[in-house]
Chain A
Amino acid sequence: MKKLLLTSLALLILSSPLIAAEKAGTISRDATLYAKPFKDADAIAALPAATAILILNRKGGWYEIKASDKQGWVRLTRVRLNRKGGTNEEDSSGVGELLSGLATGRDKTTQDTTATAVKGLSEEELLNAEPDEEALSKLDNFAASGEASDDSGLQTRQIDFQPTDNKPDAPATAPPAPKTSYEEDE
């Protein structure tokens, strides 16, 4: 009997990553549910803002989701994960894991929401800080050389900075050329 209990407990623990992979979320702005994770795939349904959803899977910029009786793919930028505490979720660690597509089983230190004092770099500690030149000099021991290459298979890509709503992202380019009227006058 005890053995059976242990076995079922073990099974429960083993299967828990599957349960954890289903995360509750909410549609942030009106979105479209697609049959496949592509923009030109068939549209299944319109998902109005604030629709409650269940996230099943991620592929690149897409989440596979369930919304009431429908299932399909939605751009992941239109989804907000539900706040922990408001739902039954145990901790936040599943959130990023789902985005990363990998369950790691890492035991995260659960940070208490009660008003325990934060150690290090709180407002107060920053206010009272004395400059530590020595610690700064020691950091030079760990710096990577300028030529540091990468052996991990990362492939660099050419992508331009995009302008935001308010101003261009790219550093200012060449300043306006001076007028040529001086030469013309001569």
Chain B
Amino acid sequence: MNLSLGKWALATTILFTSITLHAFDFGGSFGGGEESNSGGANIFDIGDIISGVKDISRTVTGIDEETEIEIGRDAAAVLLGASPPVNDPELQRYVNRVGRWVVNQTDRAHLPWRFAVLRSDAINAFATPGGNIFLTDGLLRLLNNEAELAAVLAHEVAHVVQKHHIKAMSSVNTSGISGLIKLASVTGEGRSNQMTTRMVGEVKDMYLRGLDKDDEFEADSMGTVIATRAGYDPFALMAVLQTLNSLDPSKSGLALLYKTHPPAGDRLDKLEPVLEQFDGSDEASPKLQKRFDKYVRKQS
């Protein structure tokens, strides 16, 4: 079931109710007399209801899931244009298997999830709306086991679950998102031409600008929970951030990551309270070293 559609249906219902109420009020005050007080009380209620509707619109960030997926496909094509997938079907299948296991622990498992390792020395990972998750070969080489891979994917998955990119796109300017929806809903022949002008520019801007800092912290804490739900070591994302934190931040491969993300040290500080709940006997959370070594490091 499409959650966003459900919310829209509800919002519409409330809106309809408020219109009905308004008509009722009008009738009331027309009658005049001492009873007009109750009419005033009703108007106050309507204000509440309308602000409730506004809250809902903010929550769903104004687009349906189909459009979200379309925008995400376009964004993914742009990222792939900057860096092609690594030509290693076994590795790509492995990353998809880990990623699928991770997203099954969220309430958006039904999205058309795709995961891929991209050929790049940069140390970075990306998500696009609707469920496309990419990490660079440079980042993959820094990881030590499957738990760390799952943790990186879970951070990106959290961005998709929380629709952080859609939020970032809509916050640039108010007309931005409606324009994008129009573009995304153009299908068939006319599509690619229109898309290349506006959408590609929007997408590039967003990935060069990065997401809201708080959304990055949220993806760290939510990603940790998602990966732990999947049975992995709760401290794996922290381990990745420790690795990043121990690298020279002026390294060229980290340039875009640090332009678009808070410093690793700040992320570690924010993650600490989330990890309090895990006392961490990690016997129960396998790191799947062998499987990781087989597909990622080509060691049997």
Q: Which residue numbers of A lie inside 8 Å of B, CB to CB?
A: 28-29, 38-39, 59-62, 76-78, 80-85, 92-93, 95-97, 99-102, 104, 106, 108-109, 111, 113, 115-123, 125-133, 135-136, 138-146, 148, 150, 152-162, 164-167, 169, 171-172, 175-176, 178-179, 181-182, 185
Contacts and interface: CB of A to CB of B under 8 A. Distances in A.
B144 A28 contact: no
Contact of A129 (B82, B229, B234, B272): B82
A45 B190 CA distance: 70
Given A167-B218, A182-B20, A84 B248 contact: yes
Interface in B233-275: 233-235, 238-240, 242-243, 245-248, 250-253, 255-256, 259, 265, 268-275
Contact of B144 (A97, A121, A142, A152): A97
Interface residues of B, number: 133
B101 A148 contact: yes
Contacts of B186: none
10 residue pairs, one from A and one from B, having the closest CB atoms: A120-B120, A60-B280, A61-B280, A154-B231, A129-B81, A129-B82, A131-B77, A144-B100, A99-B239, A120-B83
B59 A159 contact: no
B300 interface: no
Contacts of B245: 80-81, 83
Interface in B26-62: 38, 41-42, 45, 48-49, 52, 55-56, 59
Contact of B105 (A121, A123, A156): A156
Given A100-B239, A156-B105, A185-B24, 18 more contacts: A60-B278, A77-B276, A111-B251, A118-B120, A121-B118, A121-B256, A126-B207, A129-B78, A131-B195, A132-B84, A136-B132, A139-B116, A142-B116, A156-B229, A156-B231, A161-B221, A171-B162, A181-B42
A99 B52 contact: no
